[in-house]
Amino acid sequence: MTLIDSQIDFILSDIKRRGVVSSALQEEVLDHICCLMEERFPKDDFQTAYQKALTSLGSLKALQHRTTDVILSSGRMAIFFSCLEYCFTFIYLILGITFLLLPLFILIVMSEFLIFAVLFPLMPFGCFMCFTRINYKKFQLISFPSKVCPGNLVFH
Amino acid sequence: MYGYEITQAIKELTKGEIEITEGSLYPALHGLLADKLLKTESMHIGKRVRKYYTLTKEGKAETKKKIDEFSDFLIMMKQLLNLKLSAR
């Protein structure tokens, strides 16, 4: 059997339809199928020989997947993808630590907010009360006027 | 050698004992190509493109290394299992 151009075109389009997307692999599979048909099934008609050749080859989609997997795990592509995997792992780790520490961070920030927004303003008031209500020479408490302290409580 | 020729050569050398399927041949060839152990030369035959694979310099070194490793493995297995290896 000698294959004509239209038959080769048909085989090539069918190879593409069956899942072989890499142009390099398409050329090789096309040549392989043609060799099979010409040498192993020379006496069969085109369709029969083609079907036998396809059966011999198995799933072309699986062949493409296996070839892609091998290429991706070889050479520079392997180094590139392993670096990419490490980058993604690092990013996820940073995100994980951030989200783990975020509640703690918020608590710290909130506590700092509480300290600065609530407690610190109270400090001047505390200082005022201490310095105005204590007689440091006599170590006595200075009471509020009776109007302020309705129980007429006097501290000596 | 091109893909089909490789399968036929292996079949002939092993008298049909080992048949490399296309599903394992082409992924292996492309993997070796990606590792720069093989190089290709394309030849146009009508509308077909035939790729001939040859070993690179690194490929030849790696071949020798793999053959030596396999040879050592066979010697070790022979000693371990007390095998008597002979060619058919």
Using an 8 Å CB-CB cutoff, list chain B residues near A32: 3-4, 22
CB pairs under 8 A between A and B: 73
A81: Cβ–Cβ under 8 A, 6 or more apart, which residues? Answer: A72
Residues of chain A with a CB closer than 8 angstroms to some CB in chain B: 5, 8-9, 12, 24-25, 27-32, 34-36, 56-59, 62-63, 66-67, 69-71, 73-77
Task: Measure in Å the smallest separation between the Cα of B17 and chain A Cα atoms.
Answer: 17
User: Looking at the DSSP assignment, which residues form a beta bridge with residue A135?
Assistant: A140
- One-character DSSP codes across A41-68: STTS-HHHHHHHHHHHH--HHHHHHHHH
ipTM of predicted assembly, 2 dp: 0.80
Stated pTM of the model: 0.62
- CB of A138 within 8 A of CB of A132? no
pLDDT digits (tens, 9 = 90+) for A103-153: 777 878 878 887 888 777 788 888 887 778 778 787 777 776 655 444 444
pLDDT digits (tens, 9 = 90+) for B38-73: 999 999 888 889 999 999 999 999 999 999 999 999
With a cut of 70, say whether residue A100 has pLDDT above it. yes
Comparing alpha-carbon positions, the chain B residue that sits nearest to A36 is B4
Using an 8 Å CB-CB cutoff, list chain A residues near B42: 27
| Gap between the Cα atoms of B10 and B19, Å rounded | 7
- CB of B54 within 8 A of CB of B38? yes
CB atoms under 10 Å from CB of A137, counted, come to 6
Q: Which amino acid is at A108?
A: I
